[in-house]
Amino acid sequence: MASFRQNAAASAPAKNMLWGGRFTGGLDPLMITYNASLRFDRVFYAQDIRGSIAWARANHHVGILTAAEFASIEQGLTQVSQEWASNTFAIQPDIDEDIHTANERRLGELIGKDVAGKLHTGRSRNDQVATDMRLWLRDRLDEIAAHLVELVKVVAGRAELEIEHVMPGYTHLQRAQPIRWSHWLLSYGFPFASDLERLREVRKRVNRCPLGCGALAGNPFGVDRDAIARELEFDGLMPNSLAAVADRDFVVETLQWASMLGLHLSRWAEDLIVYSSAEFGFVRLSDAYSTGSSLMPQKKNPDALELVRGKSGRLFGAMAGLMMSVKGIPSTYNKDLQESVEPMLDVITTVSDSIQIATGVLSTLSIQPENMMKSLTPDMLATDLSEYLVRKGVPFRETHHISGQVVALAEKEGIAMDSLSFDQLTGVDHRFEKDVMSVFDYQKSAETRAVRGGTSKSAVQEQIRSLKETLSN
Note whether 420 and 330 are same-domain residues: no
Note whether 228 and 356 are same-domain residues: yes
Q: What percent of the chain has pLDDT over 70?
A: 94
Note whether 105 and 134 are same-domain residues: no
Q: By C-alpha distance, which of 355, 359, 362 is closest to 162?
A: 362
Note whether 367 and 416 are same-domain residues: no
Q: Is residue 470 assigned to a domain? A: no
Asked whether 117 and 108 are in contact (CB, 8 A), the reply is: yes
Q: Is residue 462 assigned to a domain? A: no
Buried b (16+ CB within 10 A) or exposed e, 353-367: ebbebbbbbbbebeb
Q: Is the dihedral of CA 28, 33, 34, 37 positive or negative?
A: positive
**Predicted structure pTM score:** 0.92
Last residue of some domain: 116, 151, 184?
116
Domain of 436: which CATH number? 1.10.40.30
Q: By C-alpha distance, which of 146, 139, 126, 271 is closest to 196?
A: 146
Note whether 331 and 423 are same-domain residues: no
Q: Is residue 55 assigned to a domain? A: yes
Note whether 31 and 131 are same-domain residues: no
Q: Which residues of the chain fall short of a pLDDT of 50?
A: 1-10
What is the span of the domain harbouring residue 395? 378-457
Note whether 411 and 299 are same-domain residues: no
Q: Is residue 1 assigned to a domain? A: no
Q: Is residue 286 assigned to a domain? A: yes
Report pLDDT for 274: 97
Note whether 72 and 190 are same-domain residues: no
Note whether 336 and 400 are same-domain residues: no
Note whether 192 and 300 are same-domain residues: yes
pLDDT tens column, 391-412: 999 999 999 999 999 999 999 9
Domain of 246: which CATH number? 1.20.200.10
Asked whether 96 and 102 are in contact (CB, 8 A), the reply is: yes
Note whether 106 and 133 are same-domain residues: no
pLDDT tens column, 321-370: 999 999 999 999 999 999 999 999 999 999 999 999 999 999 999 999 99
Which amino acid type is present at position 70?
Answer: F
Note whether 245 and 352 are same-domain residues: yes
Contacts of 369 (CB under 8 A, 6+ apart): 164, 165, 167, 181
Q: Is residue 469 assigned to a domain? A: no
Domain of 112: which CATH number? 1.10.275.10
Asked whether 81 and 87 are in contact (CB, 8 A), the reply is: no
Last residue of some domain: 116, 148, 179?
116
Last residue of some domain: 116, 141, 157?
116
Q: Is residue 173 assigned to a domain? A: yes
The dihedral over CA atoms of 27, 33, 39, 45, expressed in degrees to the nearest 10, equals: -20
Residues carrying an active site annotation: 172, 293
Q: Is residue 155 assigned to a domain? A: yes
Report pLDDT for 4: 45
Report pLDDT for 172: 96
Tell me how many domains the chain contains. Answer: 3
